[in-house]
Amino acid sequence: MSDSIRSASAVGTGANANLRAAAIVITAFAAFSGTDALVKLLSAEFRVPQVTFLITLAALLLVSGRAVFTRRLGELVPRQPGLALIRALLLAGDTLLIHYAFAALPLAEAYVLAFLSPVLVAILAFVFLGERLSLIGWLGVGLGFAGVAVALRPGAGALNLGHMAAIGSALLFALSLALLRKTKSEESDDALVATMLVMLTVTAFIVAMATGGFDAIGPGALLVAVLAGFLLYVGHALLVRAFRIGDASVVAAFQYSQIVWGCLYGAVLFGAPIETYTIVGGVIIIFSGWLVLK
């Protein structure tokens, strides 16, 4: 058993553990938002399935290369293969559904529905894991979702398959997060990440081949894809670690921070203005995270 797993087993899920997990997961969602920004950058030149495949493949090669370099290749094989495979399938389905939602809906509406995940995780953790948020914690989860709605100001159009896909994506992502709390302490973090990346790589390849194949890619774009893959790997590795340390219902609430990171990346990379509504929503989200940790 690695030192990191031993330390995680000894930490427990008290207030200090939740605070540490919150810091880790905020960094994870910063990495995910960086990946999303680079996906947007590459998607201006290449089809989304090809971009997804390249980034996921880069992340898989990175985690595999690290395992070879550190002589821990055996840690990529999950000790709970059934659970790891189920989680990987959930995340693959989540990715397909959210991509469909992004194509069928305005981004604001898709994001708001996707950010139902923390609420769903809190409910799933209560029902299946026996975790109980305080009344203030539940208020924080609900307030965080309200903050996202304020920041994104979704429209009020008629419901369609895109809305259902976004809700389905939130549910699958929530289930995948709840499963992380069921993994044994002996399970390697890299095994969980590698299993998920293998599934996503295969899925993205199939979708790419079914939607036009692959275009030639230059060294500059390839470098961007590798950087995005690195951020994807870091994000998932930190996400797994955070959910192994802290309570699922507490840690999941910090997914709302992703909208703040997304706005910052948008301003830096694309010159997108940060509006007053975004700032107000961000303040509400930060306050909600503080409530959840109470």
**Residue 147 to residue 288: CA distance in whole angstroms:** 8
Residue 42 lies in a domain: yes
Torsion of CA 217, 222, 224, 226, to 10 degrees: 140
pLDDT score, position 249? 77
Q: Which residue has the tokens 């990987």?
A: 88
pLDDT score, position 170? 87
**Residue 293 to residue 228: CA distance in whole angstroms:** 30
DSSP string, 184-239: -TTS-HHHHHHHHHHHHHHHHHHHHHHTT------HHHHHHHHHHHHHHHHHHHHH
Nearest Cα to Cα of residue 122 among 107, 105, 144: 144
pLDDT score, position 161? 84
> For the whole prediction, is pTM greater than 0.85?
no
Report the b/e string of 221-259 with b at 16+ CB within 10 A.
beebbbebbbbbbbbbbbbbbbbbbbbbbbbbbbbbbbb
Residue 18 lies in a domain: no
Nearest Cα to Cα of residue 88 among 192, 171, 196, 188: 196
Query: Can you read off the two tokens belonging to residue 133?
Result: 């948020």
174: Cβ contacts below 8 Å, ≥ 6 apart: 116, 117, 118, 120, 121, 124, 252
Residue 17 lies in a domain: no
Residue 149 lies in a domain: yes
Residue 23 lies in a domain: no
pLDDT score, position 237? 92
What domain range is 240 assigned to? 3-7+33-292
- At 180 the three-state DSSP class reads helix
Residue 24 lies in a domain: no
Residue 22 lies in a domain: no
pLDDT score, position 108? 62
pLDDT score, position 6? 39
Do 221 and 114 touch, CB atoms closer than 8 A?
no
DSSP code of residue 253: G
The predicted-structure confidence for 144-166, as pLDDT tens digits, reads as follows: 888 877 876 766 556 678 888 88
Listed as ranges, residues in the chain with pLDDT below 50 are 1-13
**Residue 206 to residue 212: CA distance in whole angstroms:** 11
Question: CA–CA distance from 223 to each of 32, 228, 229 (Å)?
Answer: 17, 9, 10
pLDDT score, position 184? 65
Residue 25 lies in a domain: no
How many domains is the chain built from? 1
pLDDT score, position 25? 93
